[in-house]
Amino acid sequence: MKRAMGWKIWLFLFVMTGAAGSQAAEINLSSATDFTRMELLLKDNDRLHSGFEMNVTLSPEATERMRRISRDSIGQKLTLSINGWKVSTATVQSVLGSQFRVSIPKAVAKDLLPTLVD
């Protein structure tokens, strides 16, 4: 009985370790304090997808956080939140710097966009 319980505990711990390792890393950015520049593209008839795009430039402090988190997450998923709204999750291919472009789904944009002007 004890032997059967022992392998079940080890199996549970092994599965949980794998599950914890597959969770996406997260970075939460504030448009008020972490962005030094934002450019929002609301409409472009030449684009195939119907979401919005935002080009951002990060403050030096936010840039350092982004570099550290993206460096630690290469090959893994990273979830980007802006002002508390989850905007996207993508696999990190390289270290991100101070400037990048993010696609914002329409469903998120309706709630996120008003917070960008505060």
- For residue 73, give Cα distances in angstroms to 9, 18, 76, 112, 116: 29, 16, 5, 25, 27
Q: In the structure, what pLDDT confidence band is assigned to residue 13 with cuts at 50, 70 and 90? A: very low
Q: Would you tell me how many other CB atoms lie within 10 Å of the CB of residue 66?
A: 21
**pTM, 2 dp:** 0.76
Chain mean pLDDT for the chain: 84
d(CA 81, CA 38): 15
Query: What pLDDT, in 10s, does the model give residues 62-106?
Result: 999 999 999 999 999 999 999 999 999 999 999 999 999 999 998
- Contact predicate 97/56, CB 8 Å: no
The dihedrals phi and psi of 29, each to the nearest 5 degrees, come to -115, 145
Q: Which domains does the chain have, with CATH numbers?
A: 24-116 (3.30.1360.200)
- Contact predicate 58/46, CB 8 Å: no
- For residue 37, the model assigns a pLDDT of 97
Q: In the structure, what pLDDT confidence band is assigned to residue 50 with cuts at 50, 70 and 90? A: low
In the chain, count of helices (H) and strands (E)?
3, 6
The more confident residue out of 54 and 13 is: 54
The dihedrals phi and psi of 33, each to the nearest 5 degrees, come to -115, -25
